[in-house]
Chains A and B, each alone.
Chain A
Amino acid sequence: MNKALIEVDHVEKVFRRDSNEVRALDGISLEVAEGDFLALMGPSGSGKSTLLNLVAGIDRPTGGRLRVLDVEPARMSESQLARWRNEHIGFVFQTFNLIPVLTAFENVELPLLLTRLARAERQRRVQTALRLVGLEDRAEHYPRQLSGGEEQRVAIARAFVADPTLLLADEPTGDLDAHSAEEVLEIFARLNRELGKTVLLVTHDARAARHAGRVLHLDKGVLVDQPEK
Chain B
Amino acid sequence: MGLFEIRNPKSAIRNQLYSLFMKFAGLVLKSTLRNKRRTILTVLGLGASLFLLVTLHTVLYELQATTITAESDLRLITRHAVSIANWLPLAYKEQIRQIPGVKDVMTSHWFGGIYIDERNFFAQFADDADKLFKFYSEWRIDPAQREAFERERTAAVAGVRLFKRFGWKIGDRITLKGTFFPFDAELKLVGSFTSPNLPDEAVLVFHYDYLNEMIVKTMRTRDVAGFYVIQAESLQAVPRIAQAVDGKFRNSTAPTKTETEKAFQLTFSSMLGNVKLFIGAISAVVVFTILLVTAATMAMTIRERTAEVAILKTLGYTSGLVFTLLLAEALSIAMLGGLLGCGGAKLLYSTVDLQQLTGGWIIQLRVQPEGLALGMVLAAVIGTAASAVPAFRACRMPIAEALRHVG
Contacts and interface: CB of A to CB of B under 8 A. Distances in A.
B317 interface: yes
B143 interface: no
Contacts of B2: 163
A50 B329 CA distance: 33
Given A85-B315, A99-B311, A58 B399 contact: yes
B6 A163 contact: yes
Contact of A79 (B4, B319, B406): B319
B5 to A, nearest CB: 9
Given A102-B30, A118-B9, A83 B316 contact: yes
B304 to A, nearest CB: 12
Given A85-B316, A91-B314, A128 B3 contact: yes
Question: SS class of chain A's interface: helix, strand, loop or mixed?
Answer: helix
Contacts of A125: 3-4
B33 interface: yes
B6 to A, nearest CB: 7
A163 to B, nearest CB: 5
Contacts of A115: 8
A173 B16 CA distance: 40
Interface string B303-337: 00001100111111111110000000000000000
Contacts of B23: 113
Nearest to B32: A101
A56 B30 contact: no
A93 B307 CA distance: 12
Interface residues of A, number: 40
Given A101-B34, A163-B6, A86 B27 contact: no
Contacts of B30: 101-102, 106
A59 B8 contact: no
Contact of A78 (B22, B26, B319): B319
A160 B26 CA distance: 22
B1 interface: yes
Contacts of B320: 79
Given A53-B400, A97-B406, A163 B318 contact: no
Contacts of A58: 313-314, 398-400, 403
Contacts of B33: 101
A85 B313 CA distance: 9
B407 to A, nearest CB: 8
Given A53-B400, A59-B399, A82 B6 contact: no
Contact of B400 (A59, A116, A158): A59
Interface in A130-163: 158, 160, 162-163
A140 to B, nearest CB: 13
Interface in B219-274: none
Contact of B3 (A83, A100, A114, A163): A163
A101 B31 contact: yes
A111 interface: yes
A121 B5 CA distance: 10
Interface in A189-206: 195-196
B136 interface: no
A102 B27 contact: yes
Interface string B18-40: 00001110110011011000000
A89 B317 CA distance: 12
A87 interface: yes
B14 interface: no
The 7 nearest A-B residue pairs measured at CB = A86-B316, A58-B399, A196-B1, A82-B318, A101-B30, A59-B400, A163-B3
14 contacts: A53-B399, A58-B403, A78-B319, A79-B319, A97-B311, A106-B26, A110-B27, A110-B315, A114-B315, A114-B321, A116-B11, A117-B8, A118-B9, A163-B2
